[in-house]
């Protein structure tokens, strides 16, 4: 297993092409860039905590393939206990970073691909699962960070991939030969991509035979020829070149450092191809990935919300109104909402079942309920936190003003709360709450792992409404 520092060092030798604000960044010093550094630090925490005796049981597992001790972010779930431990792990890492640490997307991808390729091989006599297992052994041995790449730009949402004016709006196979395949297109909103070693490309939806060229799943190095990453902007990201206080969470950043990943005739050897045209299983792969990923949100957002609650409560302490009854009520309600999110992740894990491959899969209905709750309850948690935090969240002067020889004394004087609390400490807490409850953090809660409508679609598929109607008729004495 890699340490956090070894992970960072392993990112320096890549030939990765990353553009930001129109400029090509130096791949060797990419991790030192102020706009990217925090995301690297948060991902490094998933490595560092594996060596901490306090968290070792959560962050490590025994590989069912090799019997070796591995980082849990490279593990295939072998039991309900594994599913539950994953959720506990995610909350623990969030409590140590206060933000997204990116690595769960690849974990969810490999678990979805693992179970799907096994069943696909049973149906078609292919050897995709064997290829994946060989790749996974390398993944575990090298403790790679692998980005999960599912979301396509999609273009005109009313049209199928093969109907688009531009075929590259969905990733697709452009040609094949005896050595491998070539893929073109793009993947959007890619969390942690620029600080990963590999990516797993997956179809973005279930498709029919007319779209079989878009049914491709494969593993590709993030610095493979033909790949360009365009790093996205974030709310107030210009502060990353300013003072530490104004960044709010200067060490670990905000959310996951997403990017647009462009693929132009990228070659993939056959041993790294895990689906190529098997449209009958594209829907299964997408749904399993989505459900594994939606399982996460009560864990990771539970941990992030713990920090939000702590920040709001601390601001109340620093401002002298923490004993007010309405503040206590609001904090208790935030705690209630947070534990509700966590309970859904625990529930879908506890109700997990064994797949044909032997790996375990979450309860899909409960996983979707949990993620759907996140799209609503996080907004309530953050709204209440902003209520407690007060208007300072929107109007606080900068760290440069605090340090100014001319006006610093006024900032120090007039933004002090409780006399025993340094003004700088109060400013730090206000900035932390600001960045955690606004902008990109909220958008990610809404659309990460699928927008609310994606969960509603799954309800209609999974809730067995006809059985509910039949039960009601039986109770009421109504004949079928």
Express each pLDDT in 18-41 by its tens digit: 999 999 999 999 999 999 999 999
**Confidence band, pLDDT 50/70/90 cuts, at residue 440:** confident
Give the mean model confidence (pLDDT) for residues 432-453. Answer: 92
Helix (H) or strand (E) holding 266: strand 259-269
Rounded to 10 degrees, the C-alpha dihedral 418/423/424/428 comes to 50
- Summarize the confidence of residues 367-387 as an average pLDDT: 97
Rounded distance between C-alpha atoms, residue 378 and residue 442, angstroms: 8
Q: Which two tokens stand for residue 259?
A: 């990017």
Q: What integer pLDDT is reported at residue 425 of this predicted model?
A: 98
- pLDDT tens-digit readout, 332-372: 999 999 999 999 999 999 999 999 999 999 999 999 999 99
Of the CA atoms within 13 Å of residue 125, those in its CB half-sphere come to: 0
Over 90: is that where the pLDDT of 460 sits? no
- 189 conformational bin, left if phi > 0, alpha if psi -120 to 50, beta if neither: left
For the chain, domain boundaries:
284-476
243 — pLDDT class (breaks 50, 70, 90): confident
What pLDDT digit, counting tens, does each position of 468-478 carry? Answer: 999 999 999 99
Alpha helices in 74-232 (DSSP H): 80-97, 104-124, 128-142
Using alpha carbons, select from 229, 222, 204 the residue that is nearest to residue 214: 204
For the residues 115-124, what does the mean pLDDT come to?
98
Q: How far apart are CA 242 and CA 195, in angstroms?
A: 23
Please list the helix, strand and coil fractions of the chain in percent, rounded to the nearest 5, in that order.
55, 15, 30
Which position has the token pair 């995301």?
Answer: 39
191 is in an annotated binding site: yes
Distance, in Å, from the CA atom of 59 to the CA atom of 53, rounded to the nearest integer, reads 10
**85 vs 178, 328, 411, CA distance in Å?**
42, 31, 46
CATH of domain 284-476: 1.20.140.10
Instruction: Find the helix or strand (DSSP H, E) in which 173 lies.
Output: strand 172-176
Q: Decide if 118 contacts 285 (C-beta within 8 A).
A: no
Contacts with 377 (C-beta within 8 Å, 6 or more apart), sequence order: 337, 340, 341
Confidence of residue 166 (pLDDT cuts 50, 70, 90): very high
> Which pLDDT value is given to residue 76?
98
Quick one: average pLDDT of 398-407? Answer: 98
Query: Mind telling me the catalytic residues?
Result: 100, 104, 191, 258, 293, 297, 300, 444
What whole-number distance in Å separates Cα of residue 23 and Cα of residue 38? 20
Cα separation, 182 vs 226, whole angstroms: 10
Give 177's DSSP letter.
-
Q: What per-residue confidence (pLDDT) applies to 140? A: 98
Predicted confidence (pLDDT) per residue in 63-88, tens digit:
999 999 999 999 999 999 999 999 99
The CA distance from 389 to 392, in Å, is 7
Q: Are the C-beta atoms of 241 and 21 separated by less than 8 Å?
A: no
- pLDDT at residue 439, rounded to an integer: 84
Across all residues in the chain, what is the average pLDDT?
97
Strand partners, 230: 19, 260
Of 197, 180, 179, give the one whose Cα is nearest residue 142: 197
Rounded Cα distance between 323 and 325, Å, is 6
Nearest in space to 244 (alpha carbons), one of 437, 399, 401 = 399
Is beta strand 227-231 parallel, antiparallel or unpaired with respect to 18-20?
Answer: parallel
Is residue 337 a contact partner of residue 377, using CB atoms and an 8 Å limit?
yes
For the residues 257-286, what does the mean pLDDT come to?
Answer: 98
CA distance 183 to 200: 13
Lowest mean pLDDT: which of 109-113, 269-273, 442-446? 442-446
List helix spans (H) across 320-417.
325-350, 364-389, 392-395, 399-403, 408-414
Q: Give the pLDDT confidence score for residue 398 in this predicted structure.
A: 97
pLDDT tens-digit profile of 176-222? 999 999 999 999 999 999 999 999 999 999 999 999 999 999 999 99
Structure tokens at 469: 């109607």
Please count the residues of the chain. Answer: 480
Q: What are phi and psi of 429, to 5 degrees?
A: -70, -40
């Amino acid at each position: 297993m890699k340490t956090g520092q070894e992970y960072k060092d392993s990112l320096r030798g890549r030939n990765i092409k990353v553009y930001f604000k129109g400029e090509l960044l130096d791949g060797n010093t990419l991790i030192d860039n102020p706009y990217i550094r925090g995301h690297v630090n948060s991902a490094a925490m998933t490595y560092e905590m594996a060596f901490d005796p306090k968290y070792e049981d959560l962050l490590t597992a025994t590989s069912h393939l090799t019997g070796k001790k591995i980082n849990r972010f490279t593990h295939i779930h072998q039991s309900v206990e594994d599913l539950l431990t994953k959720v506990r792990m995610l909350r623990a890492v969030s409590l140590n970073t206060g933000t997204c640490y990116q690595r769960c997307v690849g974990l969810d991808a490999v678990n979805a691909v693992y179970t799907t390729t096994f069943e696909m091989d049973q149906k078609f006599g292919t050897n995709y699962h064997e290829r994946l297992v060989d790749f996974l052994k390398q993944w575990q041995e090298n403790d790679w960070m692998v980005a999960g790449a599912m979301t396509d730009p999609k273009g005109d949402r009313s049209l199928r991939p093969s109907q688009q004016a531009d075929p590259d709006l969905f990733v697709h196979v452009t040609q094949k030969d005896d050595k491998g395949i070539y893929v073109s297109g793009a993947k959007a909103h890619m969390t942690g991509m620029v600080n990963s070693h590999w990516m797993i490309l997956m179809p973005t939806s279930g498709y029919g035979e007319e779209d079989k060229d878009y049914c491709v799943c494969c593993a590709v190095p993030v610095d493979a020829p033909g790949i360009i990453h365009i790093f996205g902007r974030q709310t107030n990201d210009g502060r990353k070149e300013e003072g530490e206080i104004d960044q709010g969470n200067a060490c670990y950043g905000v959310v996951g450092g997403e990017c647009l990943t462009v693929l132009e005739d990228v070659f993939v050897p056959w041993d790294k191809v895990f689906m190529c045209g098997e449209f009958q299983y594209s829907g299964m792969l997408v749904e399993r990935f989505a459900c594994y990923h939606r399982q996460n949100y009560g864990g990771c957002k539970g941990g992030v919300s713990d920090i939000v609650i702590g920040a709001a409560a601390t601001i109340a302490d620093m401002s002298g109104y923490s004993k007010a009854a309405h503040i206590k009520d609001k904090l208790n309600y935030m705690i209630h909402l947070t534990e509700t999110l966590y309970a859904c992740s625990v529930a879908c894990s506890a109700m997990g079942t064994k797949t044909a491959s032997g790996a375990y899969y979450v309860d899909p209905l409960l996983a979707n309920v949990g993620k759907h709750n996140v799209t609503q309850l996080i907004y309530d948690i953050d709204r209440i936190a902003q209520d407690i935090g007060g208007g300072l969240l929107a109007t606080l002067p900068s760290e440069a003003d605090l340090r100014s020889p001319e006006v610093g004394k006024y900032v120090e004087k007039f933004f002090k709360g409780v006399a025993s609390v340094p003004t700088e400490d109060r400013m730090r807490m206000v900035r932390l709450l600001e960045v955690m409850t606004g902008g990109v953090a909220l958008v990610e809660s809404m659309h990460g792992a699928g927008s609310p409508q994606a969960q509603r679609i799954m309800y209609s598929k999974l809730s067995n409404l006809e059985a509910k109607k039949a039960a009601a008729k039986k109770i009421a004495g109504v004949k079928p």
